[in-house]
A and B are shown apart, each in its own frame.
Chain A
C-alpha cells in the first residue's frame, strides 16, 4: 500500500491501529471494566476483526468505532476511552455482541465503561439523563415519565411535549398521578447502598 506517508501505518501488513502486543495489555483497566460489566465480557479475546464496527448501528456518528474502543481498553488508554462520544452514541442494540466471533460482548463493555465514566465525573446530556432516570426509578420503583421529562429538560421540554401529553391523557395513557411500589423507602435505601458499594469497588 502507500509507503510514502511520513507515518508508517502498516507494519508487516498489519495496520498499526489494529495492533496490540500481548505483553502491552493493560489488565488493570480491563479488570475494572469487567467488574462493572459482569463476568461475561472477555476483552482480551478481541482479535480486532472489526465485525462489531461493520454492523454497528451508530458508527457514523461515533468518534471511535467499537473495535477501536476495545483496542484502547486493551492498551489502557483511559482518557481516549472516557472522552469518546461512542459511549453516548451507542444505543445498546446488541448487534455487535450478537455478531462478535470472540464473545467480547462490546455492548456490555460499553455499558460498563459508561458506569466508570459517570463515577469519574464525566458530565453531559446523556449522563444527566441516565442518572435522573435511575434516581426516579429508585424513588418510587415505577417510572413517572412526566417527572423524568421535567427534571431532564425543564419547563421547555414540558411545553414541547405538551401536545403529545394531552393526546396521551385523553386516551387514558397517562395519569397525572405517579404509581409507586409498596415500600419505596426500603427499595430506595437498598439501591442507594448498592450504588455506593459499586462506586467503592473502583
Chain B
C-alpha cells in the first residue's frame, strides 16, 4: 500500500450520478449525512453528466470514454478527488481516469472533451468509491451508538465495485471483504455469502430480462436460504434487480422473498444512531420495517 502515506482527503467532489438523483435517492441521502457526521465534506460535482454506464462504450468506445471522462475532468477542475457512491459511476470514472493517464489513449478523449468546452490537461486527482473511503480512510468504531446486534446481513458486491482490479484495486475481486467488515463494525452478523461477487445481470435487464431475472433469483435464493435479514449493497443497478424487480421475480417463479435491500451507507447510519427517515429508509420499495423492528 503506497497510498497509506497520503493524508486522508476530507473534502471530495461528490458525483451522485443519474440513479442517486432518482431510484436510489436513499443512497444519496444516506451518503451525504453519514459523510457529514464523519467530518468529510462533499461538494457536489458541478454540472456532472451521466457516466454512460456499462453501455455507452459498447456503442462507441470513444463516446463511452468521453462521457465518463467528462466528470473526471470537472473534478480535476475543482481540484478535488472524485467520490462516487454508485458502483457503476465509480467504476466508469476510474476507468476513464486510467485512460486519461495513458499517453496512447488520452489525446483522443481530451479532444472530444475539448469539443464539449472542457480543457484539462493534467490529471492527478483520485477516483474513489464511498465503500473504499469508509473502510480505508476513517474509523467510525467509536461512533457506533446503536449496534445492530442480532441482525443477519448478506453483503453483495456484484461486479463493478471490485472488478477489474487494475481499475479498482482496493478490495479483492474474488473474495471482497470491505462491506463485510463495515457491517461487522456496525455490530451486524455477516453470513458467508457465496453469491457476493456474482452478477445480477444489470446491463442486460431490459434487453434480456429472462436471463437477468434468473441471475437475480439465484442471489435472492441464497440470501434467503442463509436466513439473512437483508442484502447490503452499494450499486443502484443491482438494487433495481434485487429490490425494484423483486416482486416481478416473485411472480414469475412463484416464490416469496420480501427481502429488504439496504445500501451500506444506510446500514452504517442506522448503527450510528441516525433516525431512519433522515437516511431515506422510508423510500424503499421493499419495506425495511421488519429490519427496523429487529434492531429496535
Chain B residue numbers with a CB within 8 Å of A173 are 22-25, 283
Q: Does A145 contact B (CB under 8 A)?
A: yes
Known A-B contacts A91-B215, A93-B163, A97-B164; the reply to A134 vs B112 at CB < 8 A is: no
Are B50 and A137 touching (Cβ within 8 A)? yes
- Quick one: CB contact mask for A148-173 with B, threshold 8 Å, 1 for yes? 00001100000000001001100111
Are A167 and B285 touching (Cβ within 8 A)? yes
Which of A8-16, A46-54, A64-72, A123-131 lies at the interface?
Answer: A123-131
Known A-B contacts A39-B105, A191-B112; the reply to A91 vs B202 at CB < 8 A is: yes
- Quick one: CB contact mask for A167-194 with B, threshold 8 Å, 1 for yes? 1100111110001011100110111011
Nearest A residue (CB) for B24: A173
Q: Name B61's contact: one of A37, A88, A105, A175 (CB within 8 Å).
A: A37
Q: Does B1 contact A (CB under 8 A)?
A: no
Q: Name A187's contact: one of B49, B165, B207, B244 (CB within 8 Å).
A: B49
Q: Does A31 contact B (CB under 8 A)?
A: no
Chain B residue numbers with a CB within 8 Å of A91 are 199, 201-204, 211-212, 215
Q: Does B254 contact A (CB under 8 A)?
A: no
- Quick one: CB contact mask for A135-150 with B, threshold 8 Å, 1 for yes? 0011001110100000
Are B116 and A190 touching (Cβ within 8 A)? yes
User: Please, how many angstroms separate the alpha-carbon atoms of A181 and B55 in the complex?
Assistant: 20
Known A-B contacts A88-B207, A137-B67; the reply to A98 vs B56 at CB < 8 A is: no
Are A190 and B198 touching (Cβ within 8 A)? no
Q: Does A58 contact B (CB under 8 A)?
A: yes
Q: Name A126's contact: one of B53, B60, B115, B207 (CB within 8 Å).
A: B207
Known A-B contacts A39-B102, A141-B50; the reply to A94 vs B61 at CB < 8 A is: no
Chain A residue numbers with a CB within 8 Å of B105 are 38-39
Are B163 and A195 touching (Cβ within 8 A)? no
Nearest A residue (CB) for B70: A187
Chain A residue numbers with a CB within 8 Å of B66 are 190-191, 194
Q: Does B206 contact A (CB under 8 A)?
A: yes
Q: Bin the interface of chain B by size.
A: 35 or more
User: Please, how many angstroms separate the alpha-carbon atoms of A118 and B283 in the complex?
Assistant: 39
Q: Does B35 contact A (CB under 8 A)?
A: no
User: Please, how many angstroms separate the alpha-carbon atoms of A182 and B50 in the complex?
Assistant: 13
Taking CB atoms and an 8 Å cut-off, the chain B residues in 58-77 that contact chain A are: 58-63, 65-67, 70
Are B204 and A143 touching (Cβ within 8 A)? no
Q: Does A77 contact B (CB under 8 A)?
A: no
Are A194 and B112 touching (Cβ within 8 A)? yes
User: Please, how many angstroms separate the alpha-carbon atoms of A183 and B113 in the complex?
Assistant: 13
Are B60 and A142 touching (Cβ within 8 A)? no
Chain A residue numbers with a CB within 8 Å of B285 are 164, 167-168, 171
Question: B residues bordering A, Cβ < 8 Å?
Answer: 18, 21-25, 47-50, 52-63, 65-67, 70, 99, 102, 104-105, 112-113, 115-117, 159-160, 163-165, 173-174, 197-199, 201-204, 206-208, 211-212, 215, 244, 282-285
Pairs A–B under 8 Å by Cβ, sample size 19: A38-B61, A38-B65, A39-B104, A88-B207, A91-B212, A95-B159, A98-B163, A125-B207, A126-B204, A137-B52, A141-B50, A145-B22, A164-B285, A175-B22, A186-B117, A189-B115, A190-B113, A191-B63, A193-B112
Interface contacts beyond A57-B215, A91-B211: sample of 16 additional A-B pairs, CB < 8 Å, sorted by A: A94-B163, A105-B164, A126-B207, A134-B56, A145-B18, A164-B244, A167-B285, A168-B23, A173-B23, A173-B24, A186-B116, A187-B70, A190-B66, A191-B66, A195-B63, A198-B61
